[in-house]
Amino acid sequence: MNYKSILFIIGIAIATLTSSISSTDVLAKTTTKGTAAVVQTSDTCVTYHAGFYYEPINDTVKSRINGLSYKEDCTVPYEDLRYVSVLYTNFEGKTEVGEIICNKAIAEDLVEIFYELYLAKYPIEQIRLIDEFNADDDLSCLENNSSCFNYRTVYGSTTLSKHALGLAIDINPFYNPYVTYPNGVTRISPPGSEPYADRSADFPCKIDKDDLCYQLFTEHGFTWGGNWKSLKDYQHFQKSID
C-alpha cells in the first residue's frame, strides 16, 4: 500500500468519526468545568456527575410543594426554581439521595458543592424537601434536615427570607442552631440544640471557618450566617444575585 492510499484511508476514518461525534452531540453536549464534566443530557436537565443534576420544576414536583413550601401567595415563578438531586453520606456512613429546590441562579453551585462534600464523605443527616415536614421550618430543623426553598418570612418579621427566593440553604441545622437576642434574652432554635450554640465546644458537624462546608460555600460566593453581628445563624448560607 503506497503513501497516498494510507492518507486516503486515514481521511475516511476521521470523517466517519467526526460525523459520529456530531450526531451524538445532538443528544448529549459535554463541556468542561474545572476538573468535572458537565453533561447537558437534554434541553432541560443538566447532569454534573452521576447522581448530581438539576432541572426545571415539573408537574410532579409542583404537586408535592403546592400549598406547602410554594404557598398561594408565592411571588416566585416556577421558572425561577430548579429541582436538584444530589448524593450525600448520612450519619451511618451510607450513601443517600437528597432532594433540594432552589433558585436557578444557585443550582449549579449546589451540585458542585454537594459533589465535593460527597467525595469527602462529609456527614449530613438528611436532605429532604421541607414539604415532607409540612413546610414547617422548626420541625425540619428539629429533625436536622438540610433544606433550601420555603416561601416564608424571617422569623419574627414581615421580611421575606432568602429561603423564600430559593437563595439560602441550611445544613445540619440541629447542630448549627439559629441564635437571636430578642429584648436581650438569648433564644436558641430548634429546641434541644442549646448545647451546640456554644461554638467553643468540640462536636461533630459543627460549621465554622475550618469546616469544609463553610469553605466550599464561601468559595462559591455564599455568605454564612455565623458571621452575622446582630444574630447567629450557624446553619445558614445564602447568596445574593443581581
CA distance 134 to 111: 25
CA distance 154 to 147: 15
SS3 of 223, please?
Answer: strand
Higher pLDDT, 90 or 22: 90
Over residues 144-176, the pLDDT tens digits come to 999 999 999 987 778 999 999 999 999 999 999
For the chain, domain boundaries: 29-238
Give the amino acid at 132: E
What's the pLDDT at 242? 72
